[in-house]
Structure 1
Amino acid sequence: MARLRRPHTKSRKGCVECKRRKIKCDETHPRCFNCTRYDVPCSFGTDHAAPAAIWSPSGSDGTVRGIPSACPPTSTPPVDPTGSHTASPAPSQLLDLPNPGGQLWMRDLELMHHYCTVTANTMAHHEGTRHVWRTVFPEEGYVHEYLMHGVLSLAALHRAFLIPGQRNAYLTRSAHHYTIGQTTFSALLPAVTSANWRSVFCFATIVIAHVLCLPLQPAGDGSDTATPISKTLELFSVTKGIKTVLLPFIPQINITSLAPLVHSVWLVSLDPPPDLKPSLKYSPLPEDTFQALSRLSNFFDADDELRNKPDYQNTVAVLEVSATQIAYAGVNIEVGAILLCPFFIPDSVIAGIKERQPHALLVLAYFAVFLNALDPTAEVGDRERFREMMEWPKKHVYLGLMK
């Protein structure tokens, strides 16, 4: 008997986004279920709309303009003023050329290609999170020009690290895009809404990436503002500032395409709490991290000279939460798990670090084990009890740098 053919269930009139994702669309108007679920624009709600303005390269005057969403022809090589064809320069030569608009366009194409093929894959260990960096960020950038500048600035910063011979040129290009993007980003911060919070969140993540790269950049005039402690303080300040602005929208991340950024960090729920001190045997953290943090907590608890004692105890508790998430991640930890401390550290502890108070610098030293970077010139006081508490972070940061 002939086998009955299975009925065809594909959606033939689905929205553009569902077709792009190759998933079935329920064809609900004015916004289908999938687009509602992932909080992305749905073509059903934009029928007969004019082509949207998307990001375009900088013009010859350094400005940015919107252009219709159509791809420029690629088969015709550049033409000089006399009308004859000229050969396209190799990507490695682009940074040495003058600044006509066409060459800026080519430089940005180089950066975008590098971002999608190389940089994005270095921003995370988990493939789901890499997808967010590789696909979701650029998609948001097509709609929000300032975010695209942030993406290109990150690519240029990465190439500056990979190609020392052209480091200054790429750092200059990175600063160019970052400055343009940050101007709009700063203007949006006081008025974040449900319509723009996604792009603001994405650019805020890029800002944190730039701050984390500060220790790799030249110190400049060698002033105190360029010390590792001050750079770490900037990380704390930026992270907490972003938290304050985006806090009302953070719960929405879990129902958007940005969700992997959170899920890759919070691998285990703390309500109810799991094993509070899991094994760190297969983690980059020292195996005695929880014991060291316990000693630090007892040290703070027994010190009658310490003001704001609950804030310091809370900071140690945050480090323990961070260590717990890292323990469950194994060797493939995401940067976000380390940034829990800057995200939740109390303001009084940050103020203590700024004032170079010994207790606060102890916190910074223990956090340095998580970052594996400590300012060797930092002083935590000349009293023997502080020197004793410094032995653990000094030991493990040194061993980490030797690996």
Structure 2
Amino acid sequence: MPTRRSHTKSRKGCLECKRRHVKCDEGIPKCTLCRKRRLECSYPPPNEDADSPQRSSINQDDLESNTALTGELPPATRMLEARLFHQYMTSTYHTLAQDGLSANHLSLNVPRLATSFVYLLDSIYALSALHLASVEADNRVPWLDAALRYQSQACSGLGKVLVDITTQEYEPAFVSSIFIMLFAMGYRVISVDSKPPDPLSLVREIRTLISGPAMLFDKIVKGGFTAQLEHWMHVPDTKESLPDGTHTKKIITSLDRLHTTIDMDKGPHHSTYRVNWQQLYQAIEPWPKIGPQGGPLAWPLFLSDEFLALIQNGDWIARVLFLHYGTAMRLLCHRWYVRDWGRRLVLATLEPLDDIPPEWVDTISWIRQAAERED
């Protein structure tokens, strides 16, 4: 009786190799076969096995318990995480640092915290995978797949901590929430989503994401305990490394003209205009210093529901102020997780507008030119 041939197919191989019924060497980010054939290479989630339809019904807690008992992770996972941590320590953390903000906190204190708080480690893996997706165009899809898996784990872990957070968790939760926020922004520009963004939905999402780090920052500052990141929290002169003085002056000049219009307005929304104008002005005017308000990136945090409702209802003063925020985000276009985010927001806001009131034609023309400018 002939002996039965042993199973040679990889159980944890990529989806393309499984479809072709060939053995996969589980290379990261692309297996050898996909790389040779120049195919997109992606792997199923860690808790799935395409060879076993019943696998997806296994409880995730059971899988984690089994891993804990054996003390082992699949070799492909270990190699992937080593690559992602190496990426963070050699490249990604550099892209997050700013003049006046010591990179030591990102390269020493944050990794040290991550060795004790797994959700922070997952957020490092997620952001590093997204960074790799931004620089390795040929491997963008598998890196995005990995980034999404770790982002999901980071969000889940952080969510559990926030239910009943202790002072010990303030700092790792703060850093993790920042990385999660940057990931959410970066994924939209790196994934090259073909669907035009809804500007107000985007800003509401960013406002929600920023509110997490802002709340934790407030707790750390007011907590009265020794913080590992204390110096990071109190850097008054943080600067962007690539200032654009000409563009900043043009935005400020345009905002000054808008302020004159707001002062002349005697309608019921006058105070709403003034408050939101002031917040945006304070975010831009110190440039290249970030300023105490967190720069243009943080402006959505201060937006009121009333102001967003005015934009949604077609109020032109609110709409033009909102468009200035989009042009201000161009100041951050050299950052890989921002890129053309401001341009896309401006153009998506302008696209449905047919009839522009005569008094706004020149302003809208300048905003469009500023958004479409190649950097």
State the TM bucket, normalised to the shorter chain.
Answer: 0.5 to 0.7
Kindly state the Cα deviation for residue 140 of structure 1 after the two structures are TM-superposed. Answer: 1.3
Call closer, same or farther: CA 1:253–1:231 in 2, change over 3 Å: farther
Whether 1:352 and 2:300 are equivalent positions in the alignment is: no
- Per the alignment, residue 232 of structure 1 pairs with 203
Q: For the structure 1 residues 128 and 219, does the alpha-carbon distance in structure 2 shift closer, same or farther, using more than 3 Å as the test? A: closer
Partner of 1:394: 368
- What residue number does 2:98 align with? 125
Residues 250, 284 of structure 1: CA spacing in aligned structure 2 closer, same or farther, 3 A cutoff?
Answer: farther
Shift of residue 88, structure 1, vs aligned partner: 11
Deviates more, 1:281-290 or 1:318-327: 281-290
Cα distance, 1:203 vs structure 2: 1.1
Task: Give the structure 1 partner of residue 57 of structure 2.
Answer: none
> Contact 1:157–1:174 at 8 Å: present in 2 too?
yes
Q: 1:239 to 1:355 in 2, by over 3 A?
A: farther
Question: How many residues are matched?
Answer: 299
Shift of 1:101: 1.0
| 1:299 alignment counterpart | 261
Instruction: Please say if 1:286 is aligned against 2:248.
Output: yes
Matched residue type, 2:202: K
Deviations 1:106-132 (A, max 9, x none): 110000001110110011233743222
Cα distance change of structure 1 residues 232 and 346 upon mapping to structure 2, 3 Å threshold: closer
Q: Which protein has greater RCO, CA pairs closer than 8 Å, 6+ apart?
A: 2
Please identify the structure whose Cα radius of gyration is greater. Answer: 1
- State the match for 1:378 in structure 2: 349
CA spacing shift, 1:217–1:148, aligned 2, 3 Å: same
What amino acid does structure 2 have at the position aligned with 1:393?
I
Q: Alpha carbons of 1:88 and 1:289: their partners in 2 closer, same or farther (altered >3 Å)?
A: closer
**Separation of aligned partners in 2, 1:297 and 1:319:** 11
1:258 aligns with 2:216: no
Aligned-residue offset at 1:251: 4.2
Q: Report deviation, 1:384.
A: 1.8
CA distance in structure 2 between the partners assigned to 1:217 and 1:370 by the alignment = 20
Deviation, 1:286, is: 3.0
Residue number in structure 1 paired with 2:35: none
What's the counterpart of residue 267 of structure 1? 237
Q: Which residue of 2 aligns with 1:172?
A: 145
Task: Determine what percentage of the aligned residue pairs are the same residue.
Answer: 15
1:215 aligns with 2:215: no
- Give, in whole Å, the separation in 2 of the partners of 1:210 and 1:335: 21
CA contact (8 A) 1:116 1:134 kept: yes
Q: Does 1:149 align with 2:122?
A: yes
CA drift at 1:334: 12
Tell me the TM-score normalized by structure 2: 0.68
Distance 1:231 1:129, change over 3 A: farther
Does the alignment pair 1:313 with 2:274?
A: yes
The equivalent residue for 1:140 is: 113
- For residues 145-170 of structure 1, give each alpha carbon's deviation from its aligned partner in whole angstroms, at most 9, with x where no partner exists: 11100000000000011111111101
Shift of 1:319: 2.0
Residues 369 and 397 in structure 1, CA contact (< 8 A), matched pair in contact too: yes
Gaps of 5+ in 1: 1-59, 62-86, 269-280
* Contact preservation (8 Å) 1:214, 1:231: no
2: distance between equivalents of 1:183 and 1:136?
23
1:196 maps to 2:154: no
- Mind listing any 5+ residue stretches in structure 2 that lack a counterpart? 1-10, 13-24, 33-40, 47-72, 331-341
Check 1:187–1:97 CA distance in 2 against 1; reply closer, same or farther (3 A cut).
closer
Matches within 5 A, 1:362-377: 362-372=320-330, 373-374=342-343, 375-377=346-348
Q: CA RMSD in A?
A: 3.6
Q: Secondary structure at the match of 2:249?
A: coil
| Equivalent in 178, 199, 211 of residue 205 of structure 1 | 178
What residue is the counterpart of 1:72 in the other structure? none
The one-letter code matched in structure 1 to 2:214 is K
Query: 1:128 and 1:245 mapped to 2: Cα distance?
Result: 19
CA, structure 1 residues 356+140, in 2 after alignment: closer, same or farther (shift >3 Å)? farther
Q: Is the 8 A contact 1:318 1:340 kept in 2?
A: no
Secondary structure at 1:339 match in 2: helix
Cα distance in 1 for residues equivalent to 2:199 and 2:104: 32
Question: Of 245, 248, 267, which aligns to 2:219?
Answer: 248
Deviation of the 1:217 alpha carbon: 3.8
**Which has more helix, going by share of residues?**
2
